[in-house]
Amino acid sequence: TDGRVLLCSSFSKTLSPALRVGWCAPGRYLERVRRLKFTSTLGTPLVLQKTISDFLRHDGYDHHLRTIRRAYQNQLHLFTQAILRHFPEGTRLSRPSGGLVLWCELPAGVDTLRLHRDALKHRISTAPGPLFTVKDRYKNCLRMNCGLPWTDEIETALKTLGTLAQNNSDAFASAVAQSPPTTMKRTVVLFLFPDVEVLDFAGPFEVFAVTDELRGYDTFNVITVAETAAPIRARNGLRVLPDHTFATCPPPHLLIVPGGFGTRALLKNEPVLAWLRTQAASAELVMSVCTGAFLLARLGLLDGLRATTHHECLDDLRALAPAATVDPSARFHDNGKILTAAGISAGIDCSLHVVSRLLGPAAAASTARYMEYPPPT
């Protein structure tokens, strides 16, 4: 490392929290660190430092670490068993190989912020999962501190906390039973091909993936598909590995057909046209971006509808879909099941429109705000 790595730690977690003594091996930066230490801390606990130094010199620290590791492992075991004993069925624990905490995942629907408020009434403090994220996640998780020595009081507190969590879970289950059915999770399939325009598929991918993330990953399953499993070289050289081939792709609820120069060759590719025809017939929604509309036109899906594409390709679309009304006045057109978006970035607008249509304007606005994109109008 040539002395460029600074090693530092503290004795607070291993000897005593009251010590507040740390150490640093600053390598080549020793003199600089000494100056910084002097300018930031005028008082130094010399007695404590001397005591710890003697403790280290006579190998007491190594013996202490072996002892404390066994103690902490035993405490983790006692906490784990008590949680599994008293918490609702389905509770899962992530047990680290070291440290003093457990990550506790309660059954879906348990609101640990509400659980925290209920527990405070019993003089029990918790660390709800939402404290550890800047996003709307970990609502049913707790971080459990296992550093305190095990006592009957801790056992009683965990039992009480488990009862409160069960009551929380039961209340959620009752509310679900009395509420109307929730929206199903939809599969969004983005069709990829050589020379596909990158933003034509990446823009919609981001919209639906972000929406799914913001809603707790229960709304959209966003995947890519290509004719073969080989990497796709998109427009301007970007290489993309598709998730599925035609043979393995699940049926789409929403089929997205992007554009790009590669659509011209696909107009004569019968296996691709046959697959698109089959998937479009059963899909809830079919959406094209840019010259992806060429493929919908080739399949006759635009006949009698209002459609659009990239502004430089409007005449080509008119030739391919003489029975359609090619209208460049809007960034996208919604015909019910069939939607077409204009060039490139318009696919984002159309995708946000679909989110608004399926989940409501508030969901689309949240996604647009997260993406730093103008909200749909």
- Closest by Cα among 333, 336, 309 to 321: 309
Q: How far apart are CA 289 and CA 267, in angstroms?
A: 16
Q: How many CA atoms lie within 13 A of 336 on its CB side?
A: 4
**8 carries an active-site annotation:** no
How many CA atoms, within 13 angstroms, populate the side-chain half-sphere of residue 237?
0
Residue 3 burial class via C-beta count within 10 angstroms: exposed 0-12, middle 13-18, buried 19 and up? exposed
Question: What gap in Å lies between CA 309 and CA 259, rounded to an integer?
Answer: 9
Tokens at residue 142, please?
A: 């707790």
Q: Which residue in 146, 290, 313, 350 is the catalytic one?
A: 290
Q: Which residues pair with 128 in a beta bridge?
A: 142
Phi, psi of 233 (to 5 degrees): -95, 105
Measure Cα distances from 309 to 67, 328, 356 in Å: 71, 7, 22
Which residues, at least 6 apart from 19, have a Cβ–Cβ distance to it below 8 Å? 11, 12, 48, 52
Torsion-angle region of residue 240: left (phi > 0), alpha (psi -120 to 50) or beta? beta
Q: Which residues are CB-neighbours of 111 under 8 A, at least 6 positions away?
A: 139, 140, 168, 172
Bridge-partner residues for 7, per DSSP? 25
Name every residue whose Cβ is closer than 8 Å to that of residue 216 and which is 6 or more positions away in sequence: 136, 137, 139
DSSP state at residue 27: G
Q: How far apart are the first and last CA of the chain?
A: 56
* β pairing state of 239-240 and 232-233: antiparallel
Q: Which residue has the tokens 């019993």?
A: 122
Catalytic residues: 290
